[in-house]
């Protein structure tokens, strides 16, 4: 089947006045339009013509546009998710009002201060006593302030005699070494140190309070005499050792004047020590203290 191009429409002639009408001469003459030619097969007549189509081949229908792929993944079909329980609102916290500080009555505060003052005074008394005892050359044992009871007085005497015993031992060893002409200079220094110790011991003995002890006055007098003789003997022994160190020492040489003086003072000190021990030992037995021999003083 061949489709022909449409023919151009001929414009209709307007109806005018009849022939012989005066206005007929005013219309122009109309030319007859020739019939349109049929274009050759397969050719286009112009921009407005459409290409010829082959007979017997229908035009294929347009392909449908595929639907757009959804980007969001659909939710799986299944058991519905249980609804979450709403969180209850927090309860408001009531502020705790601060407690007022307990007020101590004025009387009670004054009592507390007095109590602390008493405690401080009691704690400071031992410290003061310790300081005073250090200032005392004889120490706490020879201090009359601490000898309040008869037993305390007796214990002070024991401490003094024990100190004197150590001095006597050093003097005895130095005498033996000097007779053998050994360490004469060192022995002289030992005698001098013993004499100084005897002097300090005598000062302590003079400060002893033995008023509550039996025969306390006689006890103190014999002890002071013994310490005086011992001190003079030690000075004489020091001069004897120095004399031998400066000259020629002969073993067993005891014929010098210094040695004879030291021997006399030692003999007098021994007699006083025996009297002291005779008075002391009964007192020591009464109070359960140490008893002494005359060689310990």
Q: What is the 3-state secondary structure (H, E, C) of 61-101?
A: CCCCCCCCCCCCCCCCCCCCCCCCCCCCCCCCCCCCCCCCC
Mean pLDDT of all residues belonging to the chain = 74
Which pLDDT does position 169 carry in this prediction?
85
- Per-domain boundaries in the chain: 150-296
Tell whether the model's pLDDT for residue 4 goes beyond 50.
no
User: Quick check: 137 and 200 in contact, CB under 8 A?
Assistant: yes
CA-nearest of 227, 215, 221, 224 to 154 is 215
Mean pLDDT for 226-245 is 94
Sequence-separated (6 or more) residues with CB below 8 Å from residue 162? 290
Taking 60 as the threshold, does the pLDDT of residue 25 lie above it?
A: no
With a cut of 60, say whether residue 146 has pLDDT above it.
Answer: no
Q: What angle do CA 253, 258, 264 make, to 5 degrees?
A: 100
């Amino acid at each position: 089947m061949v489709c022909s191009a449409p023919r151009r429409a001929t414009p209709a002639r307007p109806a005018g006045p009849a022939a012989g009408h005066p206005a007929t001469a005013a219309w122009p003459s109309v030319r007859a339009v020739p019939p349109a030619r049929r274009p050759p097969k397969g050719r286009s007549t112009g921009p407005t013509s459409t290409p010829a189509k082959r007979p017997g081949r229908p035009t294929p229908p347009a392909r449908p546009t595929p639907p757009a792929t959804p980007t969001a993944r659909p939710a799986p079909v299944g058991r519905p998710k249980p609804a979450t329980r709403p969180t209850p609102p927090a309860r408001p916290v009531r502020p705790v009002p601060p407690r007022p500080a307990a007020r101590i009555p004025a009387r009670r505060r004054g009592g507390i201060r007095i109590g602390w003052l008493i405690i401080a005074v009691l704690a400071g008394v031992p410290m003061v006593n310790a300081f005073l005892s250090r200032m005392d050359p004889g120490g706490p044992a020879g201090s009359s302030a601490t000898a309040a009871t008869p037993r305390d007085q007796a214990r002070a005497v024991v401490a003094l005699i024990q100190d004197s015993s150590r001095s006597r031992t050093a003097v005895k060893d130095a005498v033996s070494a000097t007779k053998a002409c050994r360490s004469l200079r060192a022995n002289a220094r030992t005698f001098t140190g013993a004499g100084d110790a005897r002097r300090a011991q005598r000062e302590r003995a003079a400060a002893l309070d033995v008023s509550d002890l039996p025969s306390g006055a006689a006890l103190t007098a014999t002890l002071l005499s013994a310490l005086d003789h011992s001190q003079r003997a030690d000075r004489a022994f020091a001069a004897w050792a120095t004399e031998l160190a400066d000259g020629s020492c002969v073993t067993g040489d005891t014929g010098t004047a210094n040695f004879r003086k030291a021997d006399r003072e030692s003999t007098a000190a021994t007699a006083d020590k025996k009297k002291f021990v005779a008075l002391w030992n009964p007192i020591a037995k009464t109070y359960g203290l140490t008893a002494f021999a005359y060689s310990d003083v």
